[in-house]
């Protein structure tokens, strides 16, 4: 993930890449194995090597993996920075909603208290 890309675009790329279950499986496999080739990854998935390469290209474009050429092979590894940035964005969004909901709760409780106090006993 480059610094020039707007945060919203970067988060959108990550979420789009993670929307596919095969790509999530690839990330899980890479996280468990460290580095792996597309051929090695394809052996563990019910898709072709060509499909794995295409999925890895999407993950790479989103900044979630990177490939390093070693002779004829390309070894892929997880790059956590884009996922970390997306997790921070999601945590910030959740915190905003928590604040909003807490405010609504305070307003509702205040209105309920005022209504109780205004009722004659």
Angle between helices 49-61 and 7-18 (to 10 degrees): 160
Structural domain boundaries in the chain: 7-82
pLDDT of residue 121: 65
With a threshold of 0.95, does the pTM exceed it? no
pLDDT of residue 2: 43
The class of domain 7-82 in CATH terms is mainly alpha
The secondary structure of residue 62, as a DSSP letter, is T
> CB within 8 A of 62, min separation 6: which ones?
1, 10, 13, 14, 16, 17, 82
Nearest to 53 by CA among 22, 79, 11, 15: 22
Strand order in the sheet with 73-78: 35-37, 73-78, 65-70
Give percent above pLDDT 90 in the chain: 74
| φ, ψ (nearest 5 deg) of residue 107 | -65, -45
Are the C-beta atoms of 26 and 55 separated by less than 8 Å? Answer: yes
At 28-69, the pLDDT tens digits run 999 999 999 999 999 999 999 999 999 999 999 999 999 999
Query: For residue 4, is pLDDT > 50?
Result: no
């Amino acid at each position: 993930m480059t610094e020039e890309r707007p945060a919203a675009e970067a988060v959108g790329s990550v979420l789009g890449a993670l929307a596919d279950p095969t790509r999530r499986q690839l990330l899980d496999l890479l996280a468990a194995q460290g580095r792996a080739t597309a051929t090695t990854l394809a052996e563990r998935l019910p898709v072709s090597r060509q499909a794995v390469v295409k999925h890895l290209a999407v993950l790479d474009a989103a900044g979630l993996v990177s490939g390093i050429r070693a002779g004829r092979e390309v070894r892929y590894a997880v790059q956590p920075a884009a996922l970390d940035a997306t997790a921070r964005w999601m945590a910030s969004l959740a915190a905003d909603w928590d604040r909003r909901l807490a405010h609504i709760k305070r307003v509702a409780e205040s209105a309920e208290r005022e209504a109780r106090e205004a009722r004659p006993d």
